[in-house]
Structure 1
Amino acid sequence: MPDLSTRLARERADVLDAIDQPPLARIGARARRRRRQRHAARAGATAFTLAVAGLVALRPWSAEPKPPPPVGNENQAVAPVYTDDGITINGLSGTAAAVPGTITEVEFADPDTGYLVAQCVTGDPCSPTLARTSDGGHSWVTTALPPIESDPDLLLFPDGRLALGGHISADEGRTWQAAPGHAGQPAAAGRGQILRLRDAVEVWDSGYGYSGTLATQPGLTAHWLASTPTASGAWWAAGQVDGQAAVAVTRDGGQTWKVTRLAVTGQIAQVATLGTHVYAAVLDANGVIQAIFHSVDSGATFRQTSTGGGSVAGDLVPLLDGRLLAVGTDRRWHVSADNGRAFTRAEGTLPAVGALARTPAGYVAYDLFNAGWAAFSADGSTWRKLQIN
């Protein structure tokens, strides 16, 4: 009897014999015919390509022209850069717009949208002018202003409206109407309202303008009020309590205030914030620093970092790298890497500057080069010179 492997081999052969085999000859012939068709098609395509190339060579105007290589503008202005110690100012990249008078206030609602007020010196017959930009200060459009008080504040509201010298604009300063006002004692600044310091802390509304004196004052003799709230909505005020410097903060629009006495004698106090970091500077009447305090917990507690020295013109600027920037009364830039304990002067090519000021979208530098120029920065480190003067 054949063994198992022999029987399996015979049965496999029987099964294969029983299966109808495909027509291999016909399949092979079909494959050869398709190969011949593909070869012919490629040959035809090559011939067509050569014919077209020859036609294009004879008729070059029928071919799609290649774009010319880019040509550099030999007259394009290269913006100068002024820098030192991590502070950079990008200069003018074109022709600056002219505005009569001197730039007295600049406010930016966001990095692109900004406004400035230019006023004439005493005895000059020109009228105050408002200019606005929508491209970050590269180009400006000027608008004539109605009669306004001699030194008005330009106020930017969260809804985009403007207030200036008793007038309200709902169309980016193109037209102005007298603000109706609404004298009262509001409990707090609500939606679309801001706080402003004159003789006392006031509430201003984007529709009414002046809306009355805040019912609950900060609890100190206020000499300074932040021009804009922090990212969390807190408003800071600074002044004196019993002859000593103090700061106060409200986190509910002015309904309640927390006062912190700094236990240092000074004429003026001011606050600068970045995230949870809060700096409080105590100055004398000439801007000379008497003390600097630092908080890392949003102002819950303060630690004194400096006992004085140097001076401040305008606002302090906390930088993203942890340093503190200030402009001194010497019209130079100064930075501190130890929370205000000591400042070093930035040299390099940085120009003279008059003062720094907070604006809703960042900071403004005034009187650059001792020539009335202004610059804007969203972070205090990189500045853009505004193309208007």
Structure 2
Amino acid sequence: KVTLTDLESKAGVFVDSKRVHRHEFAGSGSFQAGNTRFRITCETDLDSPTNFTNAPGQSIDVAGLIDKLKTAGKIDKYPLEKMINDGGRNLVFATTDPESGKQRAIKIIPTPPGGSEDEERFIRAMKMLQAIRDPSLVKLYRAGRRADFCWVLMEYFPSGSIDDRRESHGIDGRLDWKDSWRVAYCISKSLEVLERNSISHRYIRPTNILYRESEDAWVLSDLVVAKAEDVSQSSAAVTQHVFLPSNLAYTAPERLTGDTSVPPIVSDIYSLGAVLTEMLAGEPPFGYGQLKDILPRLREPPRRVTPAAQFGMNEMLMDLANRMASPSPADRYATAKDLWDGVCRVGRLTGMKTL
């Protein structure tokens, strides 16, 4: 359930043309505040390959699935070793490829009984991603389906994510500007590759940016939530929903307010800019919290990267981060190619290593 509360606003909040002070949504719904109309899309309605729908009365027993997997001890020929992540409804285990002897990760995506539509989305995502092979993206090796889950065998990252790097190398949650530039350099290349393939990621956050130690490079992960932009007419009704991830600190303002007119890549650029702002200044532009916490802050100026954020701050990178994370889409880079060129320019002028 979602509870909507009007905190004595002047314009009022309306549901079905009736002014309300408090209203509970049992599922998806819409409301109007001032001149803006909002739509609440529950997780079960999201057009994402890894957020599967439940039919009425159905539920996914994640705890039971974990017990089942641990009892089985493996998926296909891959042994399930330690659990890396059990956040949300997706599970990630470490495994070892018996043929190569190399360590991998298996992402397990639970599905409800009879979730044929969910399986179709999963297959569609896998086919879409098979056509892309680029060092800037996480490597996917195999995928499969079972009665109650889908699974993907992917690259394993023992060095972890940006959050792990901030914890081990950061000062007050900040990373040195040179390390932060390196992240922007690598992930802007990831976005440029996705853009060339007409794909938007939609879920950029620190935990989805992982460090590949062998190449001293950061790569973009969780590609199974990415979405092709050239969708067919048959799926148009589904893809018009606004996908809101569980962690909203890095979500573009226009997506929080339900504005679907902004090109998805421009919203992805904001998300990467929010990550960059957090690395340089300690927090994303509008802070942390749930939708009810962040929406009111959109009326105020966002946190920006300033010379005071850290000693020796590079002003060119500072300007780049502030442009990427601007609340106004028109002020951001219009394409991932433009962003990539801008990041490379900062690198060249500051003596950083670029391609």
Tell me the TM-score normalised to structure 1 length: 0.26
Which structure features the higher share of helix residues? 2
Q: Which has the larger radius of gyration?
A: 1
